[in-house]
Structure 1
Amino acid sequence: MTPHVPASAATDTSSSTDGTSPATAFEGSADALLIRVSRLREHVALLVEHRSATDPTAADPLRGLYLSEDAVRHLLEPAGQDPAPESWVSERGDRLDLLAGRLGLTELDVRILLIALAPDLDRTFEPLYGYLNDDVSRRRATTGLALDLCGLPAHHAEGRARFHPSAPLAALGLAVVEESERPFLSRSLRVPDRLIAHLLGDETLDAALTGHVHRLRAPVRGEQYDEVFLRRLADRLAAAPLTVYLREHRAGDGLACAAGALRDASAREALHFAPDKAAGQEPTADLLREARLRDCAIVVSPLPEDPAPVMRALAVDDVSVLFTDPRPYDPHWCDHRDPLVLDAPRLRSGAVDAWAVALGTGVDTETSAQVAPVPEPAPGFDLAPVVAPYRLGGDRILRAARAAQRLAVFEGTALTPAHLRLAARQQSASGLERHARRIRPDVGWEDLVLPDKPLVQLHELALRARHRDQVLGDWRLSAGGGRGRGVLGLFAGDSGTGKTLSAEVVAAELGLDLYVVQLSSIVDKYVGETEKNLERIFTEADRTDAVLLFDEADSVFGKRSEVKDSHDRYANMESSYLLQRLESFDGIALLTTNLRANIDEAFTRRLDLVIDFPFPDADQRLALWRHALTHVPCADDTDPRAVARDFELAGGSIRSAVVTAAYGAAGRGAPVDTADLLEGARREYRKAGRLVPGEGTW
C-alpha cells in the first residue's frame, strides 16, 4: 500500500515548486543539485513503499493524527529493515560540492543538508516526509528521518553528533535544528533561504544584512598607499584566513588600507560591515555565513562604542576579518585570541595617478555603468596642484571623479578644476559645522591688497599645505614624538587689515572649505569642558579636508600666567592641552589676533609661519578703495584719491565706507560720487571715535 498523497503534491519528479521543469526554472549551477534531489526523492519513495507495505494505516488520510487499534498493534511489532540508501549524493561539480570542500563538510553532512532542503526545492517531499514522520502536519525533515534516510540507526553516536550546535552544519549557519523542547529524533531541520539561493546560483545579499553590509569596492592604485605595507598584508591574507585590527590615524585610512590589501590578495570581493554605533543585535551570524558562501573577507568599520560583542562574534578561524578603528586595541575586546594589531599607514594627499585613473575610466561607482560621454579636461588643466590638498581614500576618489564629471556634463563644459574641487569637498563632508561656521570661499589672490612680504608668505603657506606629506613624511623631516603633519599659521595685525580674508583666499587656493571656530561653542565655565570641546573640533578637523580658522585666537591661545589661584591653574591646563594637541594635528589651522604679544611664545614656536599684516599706507588704501568700487556704478568724476590720503582706514573699514556710499547713492537713484565716499569715510571715523579731518569735533 502507498500513503495518501494530495493531488496538489504530484509525484512527477521533473516538476519544480512552480510546475516548470528544472531546466527552465534553474540554470547552470542548479541542474546538478536538482539531479541530487531527484535521486533523493527516489530513495524516499522507496522507503515509503517499504514501510507502507506492512502498515495497515498507510492509506488513512488522518494517519498520525490519532492512534487506532491497528496502528497500535503495528507500532508494537518489531521494525523491519529499511532499504539501504543508494548513492543519491554522488553528483559532483555543483555549488554544494564546492561549498562542502571549502568548509570541510563530510559526506554525511552533505546528505543531511540535501534531506533538509529538499522540501524547499520540490513540494512533493512534504507529504512523503509527513508519512515518514508519522504526522501529516510535520512536513519537514526531522533529525530521526535524516538518520533513517542516511541508513544510520537512531543510537548512532557519530550521526547524532552532526546535529550538535558545535558541529559544522549548525556552527557555520548551514542548518538549524528547531524545537529543542521536543525529543531529539522529532526535532525539525531547516536550511536558511540564503543557502538555498546560493546553491541555485543567486548571489543576492542576505536580506538580514540590508542596511549594514555592502560590497567593498577596491580602490584605484595610487601614490596615497604604502605599497610595501599593503603587499605584506596581502601576502598574509592570501596565505590563510587572518583576523587583523588596523588602528587608523584618520577616519577612513584603515578602510582604504584594508580594501587595498584585499585587492592585492585576491580578485574575490569583500564585504564591508558598518555596525550600529550603539552595539545591539548585530547580524554577525548571517554575515559570517554570507562570507563563507561567497568565500570572501569581511571588513568592519567603524567599530561601535563597545567593540567587544562584534569582535568576539566575528573572531573565527575560517574567514578573514579586518577591523578598523582610531582607538588603540584593547585586549578585553577579545576572549582568548588577539588579532594581528597593526597601525594603518596614513593616506597621502594628492595621489595624482589615482585621480588620473579615476577620471579616465568614467565609471559610475554606484551602478558600475559607463558614463557617456566622459568630459575632456579643459585646456591647460593641471591635475597635480588641484588634487594635492585632498586626502581621500577608499572609493572616495572614484566617487569624487564621477561627481566632477557629472557636473561638467550638466553644465555642458569641459572638466575644470572648479568641478573637481567642488566634488572633492563634497566627499570630505564633516561634522565641523556643529562647532564652526563654514565658509565656501569665493575670493582669490586678486582680492588681496597687501605688501609683497605677507603676500609671499601666504603663497608659502599654501605651498606647505600641498607638499607636507612629501617633506614631513617621505623626506622624514617631522620632528617625531608623535607630531602630526599639520600646517599652522598665525595672522597678526590690526582689525580690518585682511587676516580673515587672507585665510579665505588660502582656502580657495587649496580648494578647501574654511571653518571659522565659534569661540562661544568652545569656552565653558566648567573644568575640563573647554578641552573636550576643543578635542571634538581637532578630531573632526583631522578627518576633514578643510582649513580651520581660530579668529581672535588670543582668547584661547593666550599666555600662561603665574598660578595665584585655581582659575590660573585651570587656564594654564587649557593652554598645556592646546600645546600638546597642536603638535599631533594633521590638518591646516590658522590663528588670527589683533595683539601678537598676547600669544604664548610656546604656541609661536609650534607655528609654521607668523604673518604680520601691516596697516595700509596711502597707496595701499587707494588700491583698496578702487578694488572695493570695482563693481559699483560710479560717476565719471568720482575720485577716491582724496579720501585714501586723508582717512587712515584699514581694508575692512574701507569696504564698510563703500557700502555706506553705495546705499546713499542707491537712495538717490544715482551713481556713487566723491561726496558719497567722503561721507562713508567720515562715518567710519565717527564709529571708531576718531576726530574727522576738516571738522572741529566728531
Structure 2
Amino acid sequence: MSDSSTPLLERLAELRERVAFLVEHRSATDPTATDPMRGMYLTDDAVRHLLAVSTEDAAHPADQGVPEERGGTAEPPTAEERGGTAEPPTAEDPDEEPEPSDEDRLHWLAHWLRLSPLESEILLIALAPDLDRTFESLYAYLNDDVTRRRATVALALDLCGVPTHSAAGRARFHPAARLRARGLIEVDEPERPFLSRSLRVPDRVVAHLLGDDTPDPALDGTVRPLPYLPPEAGAHAEEADGGAVQGGDPMIRRLAEQLSARPLTVYLREHREGDGLACAAAALEAAGLPALHLVAGKGSGDPHRPQEHAPAERTPGELLPYRELLREARLTGRAVVVTSLPEKPDELIRALAVRDVPVVFADPRPYDPQWCEGGRDPVVLDAPRRRAGDLDAWRTALGPQEPGFDLAPVVAAYRLGPGGIDRAARAALDLAAFHGTELSASHLRRAARQQSASGLERHARRIRPDVGWDDLVLPEGPLAQLRELVLRAQHRDRVLGDWRLSAGGGRGRGVVGLFAGDSGTGKTLSAEVVAGEIGLDLYVVQLPSVVDKYVGETEKNLERIFTEADRTDAVLLFDEADAVFGKRSEVSSSNDRHANMESAYLLQRLESFDGIALLTTNLRSNIDDAFTRRLDLVVDFPFPDEEQRLALWRHSLAHVPCADGIDPASCAADFELAGGSIRSAVVTAAYAAAGRGDGVSTEDLLAGARREYRKAGRLVLDDASW
C-alpha cells in the first residue's frame, strides 16, 4: 500500500488552487493587499473597501456562491473580469461521491461515517494547516489577521461557496452536527463571534488520516483492544464436539448477524461475571468486527480489586473520556465492549448508546430502563453461560504444536474468557521455558489458576492442592464416589446444559457434595485431592469470619463468598458445615426466626450456585434434610479398620527415616486411631527421633500413639505394661 499521506497531499494541492483563486479575487479590489502591515490595523481605504464589499453582498446575496446543498466553490468571475486569466479549479460535483480508494483515508472516513461532500471539504479545509505550513500564511491573509493562521467558520464557508448567512451551512458547525459530534473537528474560541471562531482538527484524527493508528493517549489505562481472532482462525469453532465453544450458540450467531448488518447497542445480562465478555467476543469475531474493551468499574477500573482497597468511586465522566473512545472506534472501524459497569451506569450508557457505533454492555444486574431515560434503550439479552474447557480456544492460544498430554480433562474446569485463556497459555509456556521442559499439565493448571485469583481470601483460607489419589487410604466405595464428584465437575456443562437435564427454575450448574464422618477420617484431605484433580484451588471458608451476631450480616457475608466463587474458578470447602447448614427449628424466639432465615437463604443460594462446594460434618444427622436433597453426593467416611490403619501408618512413614526392624503393625492393632491422629502420632515420633539424631523406632510410634489416646481422653495403660 502506498503512503497514506499521498492522496491527502494531492487533495491539498487542489485546495491550494482554490485558496489562490480566492486570494487573487479578494486582492484585486483590496487597496491594502500590498501593505506589509495588513491585518495589524485598519486604514480609511480598508474601511471603505469593507463597506463597499458589505453593500455589494447585501444587494446580491446569491452571487456569493452556489447553494449550500451543492457544496461547490464560489462561482468565479469571467475571464474578461479577471483580465483573461484561466478558470480556477472547482470542487468535484458533490452529488457524485467518488468511490474511496485504498490509499485515501479521508475518502474512506467520509464513506464510513457517512459525511456529506460539504462536510468532507470542511474537514479538509480545517486539516490543511496541520499538513502544509504554507496554508497558515494563506489563511492569515484571508482572515485579514496575521495571528489567525487557522481556518475560521467564515473562511471555510467561503472556500466551499456557501453564504455565511446560510442556516444550513452554519449548522455544519453545531455541537450536535456530524463533524463535531463525532470528534472530527473542534470549534475553538467560543468567546468570538461565530464566523471568526477557529477550526481545529484533533491530533488523533490527523494521525489517522496520515496512516498512524496509535491509540489516543487519552484512553490509556481505561481501554484496550479486545482479543480478536480473524474469522479464518476460528472458522472451525462450531465443529467442536457438542458445540463446546460459544460460536455454536444460536443466540450468539443471531447477535453476530445483527452486528454485521447494522450498528447495534446491546445490553448482555450475565449469569456469571465474564459471560457477557465471552459472548460479545464470540459474536464480534463471527461478525468480523474488532473491538475496544472498556472496564468501566470503580476507581482504577480493576474489577478484581477488593472494594475496601479500591479508591473512592469517581463519576463515569471523570473515569472515561467518552468522546475520545467513540472517536477511536469510528476512526478504526471497531465496536465497543463495556464490562464492570459502575454502580450508577446511567451516564455511561446514555453517552455510549449511539447510532453509528456497535456497543455491547455486559453486567450481572438486570437492565433498568431508568438508566437510559430520554435516550435510546439497548437491546436487552441474556448472555449464554460461559462454558468451561473451550478446547478450540486453548489450542489456538497454545499454538500449532499439540501438547504431549490430553488437553480436554486438564482445561475442563476453567471458565476463562478469551483474554484469560490467552494469558494463561502464555504463562504456561513461559513456565515450561523457565524449567527447561516441555509444556506439561501442571504448567497449564498452575497458569490457569493464576488467572482465577479472587477476593475469597477475605473469608476463606486458600490451599493449593499438593496431594493426589495415592495419599488417600479409603475403602473402594468412598473412593468411587470421590471420582464421581470429579467427573460431575468436569462434565456438568454437557449434562446439565447441552443435554438439558437441569431442573430449571433458575437453578445453576454447580456441584455440591457432603463429606460426613468422624474427625480425622480424611474429609478435608479428600476435598484437597478432589480440588487438585479438577485443577482448582481449595478455599476453606472461615466460619468465624462469616457468622455475625447482627441480623442479616451472615447472609451478606455468605452472598459475597458465593458471588466471588461464581465469578472465579475455585472449590469452596465449608468445614464443620453444620454451623450454618444445620437443621431448622420451630420458631419460639426471634433468634430461631433469624436462624431459619439464614437456612432459607442458603437453600435458595445453593440452587442458583454455579461453582463447586464441599461441606464436611462430623454428624450427618445435624444437616437439614432440605440441604441433603440439594446435594449431588453424600460421601460417608468410615472409621478405618485395622488393615486401613496399618496402611495409614505406613503411608505416614513413607518419607521418614526409620530404624531397622520397625513394625507399625502393633500400633495399628492396639490403637484405634483415625488417619489424622495417626499422622499426629508419627509427627510426635519423628520429633523424638530427630532429637536423638536417629531413625524412628517402634517405641517412638507407641509413644506417639499413647499421646494421641490421652489427647482424646481415652484410657491408656501404664507404659511398663506395654
TM-score, scaled relative to structure 2 = 0.87
What aligned pairs does 1:157-196 form with structure 2 within 5 A after superposition? 157-196=167-206
The question of 1:104 aligning with 2:111 is answered no
- Hey, what does 1:516 align to over in structure 2? 540
What aligned pairs does 1:378-457 form with structure 2 within 5 A after superposition? 378=404, 381-457=405-481
CA displacement, residues 437-488 of structure 1 (integer Å, 9 cap, x when unaligned): 1100000011011112111111111111111111111121111111111110
The question of 1:311 aligning with 2:332 is answered no
Task: Give the drift of 1:27.
Answer: 4.9
The CA distance in 2 between the partners of 1:353 and 1:476, in whole Å, is 23
Give the secondary structure class of the aligned counterpart of 2:444. Answer: helix
The question of 1:55 aligning with 2:30 is answered yes
The question of 1:302 aligning with 2:305 is answered no
The CA distance in 1 between the partners of 2:130 and 2:538, in whole Å, is 59
- Hey, what does 1:280 align to over in structure 2? 316
> Is the contact made by 2:271 and 2:383 (CA closer than 8 Å) also made in structure 1?
yes
- Root-mean-square deviation (CA), in Å? 2.1
> Is the contact made by 1:36 and 1:89 (CA closer than 8 Å) also made in structure 2?
no
Give the secondary structure class of the aligned counterpart of 1:395. Answer: helix
The question of 1:259 aligning with 2:281 is answered yes
Equivalent of 1:605, from 606, 620, 629? Answer: 629
Task: Give the drift of 1:633.
Answer: 0.2
Task: Give the drift of 1:662.
Answer: 0.8
> Is the contact made by 1:46 and 1:83 (CA closer than 8 Å) also made in structure 2?
no
Equivalent of 1:293, from 304, 312, 331? Answer: 331
- Hey, what does 2:376 align to over in structure 1? 337
- Hey, what does 2:291 align to over in structure 1? 270
> Is the contact made by 1:47 and 1:83 (CA closer than 8 Å) also made in structure 2?
no
Give the secondary structure class of the aligned counterpart of 1:140. Answer: coil
> Is the contact made by 2:338 and 2:361 (CA closer than 8 Å) also made in structure 1?
yes
> Is the contact made by 1:444 and 1:505 (CA closer than 8 Å) also made in structure 2?
yes
Higher alpha-carbon deviation: 571-580 or 180-189: 180-189
- Hey, what does 1:670 align to over in structure 2? 694
- Hey, what does 1:472 align to over in structure 2? 496
Q: 1:679 to 1:164 in 2, by over 3 A?
A: same
The question of 1:324 aligning with 2:346 is answered no
Q: 1:594 to 1:70 in 2, by over 3 A?
A: same
Q: 1:61 to 1:638 in 2, by over 3 A?
A: farther
What aligned pairs does 1:176-255 form with structure 2 within 5 A after superposition? 176-218=186-228, 221=237, 223-225=244-246, 226-255=248-277
> Is the contact made by 2:478 and 2:637 (CA closer than 8 Å) also made in structure 1?
yes
> Is the contact made by 2:350 and 2:376 (CA closer than 8 Å) also made in structure 1?
no
Q: 1:640 to 1:546 in 2, by over 3 A?
A: same
Letter in 2 for 1:75: L
> Is the contact made by 2:153 and 2:198 (CA closer than 8 Å) also made in structure 1?
yes
Letter in 1 for 2:276: G
The CA distance in 2 between the partners of 1:265 and 1:243, in whole Å, is 15
Give the secondary structure class of the aligned counterpart of 1:692. Answer: coil
> Is the contact made by 1:50 and 1:83 (CA closer than 8 Å) also made in structure 2?
no
Give the secondary structure class of the aligned counterpart of 1:691. Answer: coil
Equivalent of 1:679, from 703, 711, 722? Answer: 703
Task: Give the drift of 1:560.
Answer: 0.9
Letter in 2 for 1:178: D
The CA distance in 2 between the partners of 1:350 and 1:156, in whole Å, is 63
Equivalent of 2:484, from 460, 464, 469? Answer: 460
Equivalent of 1:35, from 10, 13, 20? Answer: 10
The CA distance in 1 between the partners of 2:607 and 2:136, in whole Å, is 71
- Hey, what does 2:131 align to over in structure 1? 121
> Is the contact made by 2:539 and 2:570 (CA closer than 8 Å) also made in structure 1?
yes
- Hey, what does 2:84 align to over in structure 1? none
The CA distance in 2 between the partners of 1:252 and 1:386, in whole Å, is 21
The CA distance in 1 between the partners of 2:704 and 2:35, in whole Å, is 107
The CA distance in 1 between the partners of 2:217 and 2:488, in whole Å, is 49
- Hey, what does 2:59 align to over in structure 1? none
Letter in 1 for 2:403: P
Task: Give the drift of 1:564.
Answer: 1.2
Structure 1, unaligned runs of 5 or more: 1-25, 362-373
The CA distance in 1 between the partners of 2:692 and 2:408, in whole Å, is 51
TM-score, scaled relative to structure 1 = 0.90
The CA distance in 1 between the partners of 2:582 and 2:92, in whole Å, is 80
Equivalent of 2:528, from 493, 504, 507? Answer: 504
The CA distance in 1 between the partners of 2:297 and 2:270, in whole Å, is 19
Higher alpha-carbon deviation: 527-536 or 90-99: 90-99
The question of 1:640 aligning with 2:679 is answered no
The CA distance in 2 between the partners of 1:61 and 1:172, in whole Å, is 40
What aligned pairs does 1:568-647 form with structure 2 within 5 A after superposition? 568-647=592-671
Letter in 1 for 2:126: A
The CA distance in 1 between the partners of 2:683 and 2:355, in whole Å, is 71
Q: 1:453 to 1:694 in 2, by over 3 A?
A: farther
Letter in 2 for 1:344: A
- Hey, what does 2:306 align to over in structure 1? none
What aligned pairs does 1:545-584 form with structure 2 within 5 A after superposition? 545-584=569-608
Task: Give the drift of 1:696.
Answer: 10
The question of 1:87 aligning with 2:111 is answered no
The CA distance in 2 between the partners of 1:343 and 1:237, in whole Å, is 16
Q: 1:329 to 1:520 in 2, by over 3 A?
A: same
- Hey, what does 2:21 align to over in structure 1? 46
> Is the contact made by 2:388 and 2:493 (CA closer than 8 Å) also made in structure 1?
yes
The CA distance in 1 between the partners of 2:508 and 2:434, in whole Å, is 40
The CA distance in 2 between the partners of 1:405 and 1:593, in whole Å, is 41
Structure 2, unaligned runs of 5 or more: 57-63, 65-73, 77-87, 299-312
Q: Percent identity?
A: 71
Task: Give the drift of 1:83.
Answer: 6.9
CA displacement, residues 146-202 of structure 1 (integer Å, 9 cap, x when unaligned): 112122222122211211122211122211112222111111111111111111111
